[in-house]
Amino acid sequence: MRKPQIGRLSIVAVVCLSLMLSRSEALAEIQWIKSVAQAQQKWNTSAKPLLVYVTSESCFFCQKLDHATWMDPSVGVLVNDRFVKLKVNGQRNQAIAKQLNVTAFPAVVVFSADGQVIGRRDGFVEPGEMSAFLQSVVPPQTTHH
């Protein structure tokens, strides 16, 4: 007696679904630049704004932001699509933290392509609020036909 093919189809469907989900998660994972020089170079050659995330290894709310907000697919895709993104350890790079007036971690500062501060959030921000904030400082590009 021949075994039904449903089992194999189910396995194939599960594998395909898993691959699709991992691909979407990979697309949503923020590709942070961790070198100020590299971020500056990329920002200089881009029309995108610069998002600077100032963090600290020992900061509870930074870890919460990393695992809850930045890992949220809607936030990750938005950040990857619309920003040059720099992640800076404010304890190791105190000069940058001071220059950005960071007095507590985490801090998110957004600069326009011409270098003006266009947005800032200090402390932990929920994914929905972060998404709304980022969309408000950099609205989606409209296409012209």
Domain residue ranges of the chain, discontinuous segments joined by +:
28-137
Instruction: CATH number for 28-137: choose from 3.40.50.1010, 3.40.30.10, 3.30.300.30, 3.40.50.2000.
Output: 3.40.30.10
Prediction pTM value: 0.78
pLDDT at 141: 66
Higher pLDDT, 25 or 87: 87
Whether pLDDT at 22 is above 60: no
Q: pLDDT over 90 for what percent of the chain?
A: 74
pLDDT digits (tens, 9 = 90+) for 52-111: 999 999 999 999 999 999 999 999 999 999 999 999 999 999 999 999 999 999 999 999
Output the CA torsion sign for 104, 135, 49, 117: negative
Q: What are the Cα distances from residue 114, in Å, to 69, 100, 117, 137?
A: 27, 16, 9, 14
Contacts of 119 (CB under 8 A, 6+ apart): 108, 109, 110, 133, 134, 136, 137
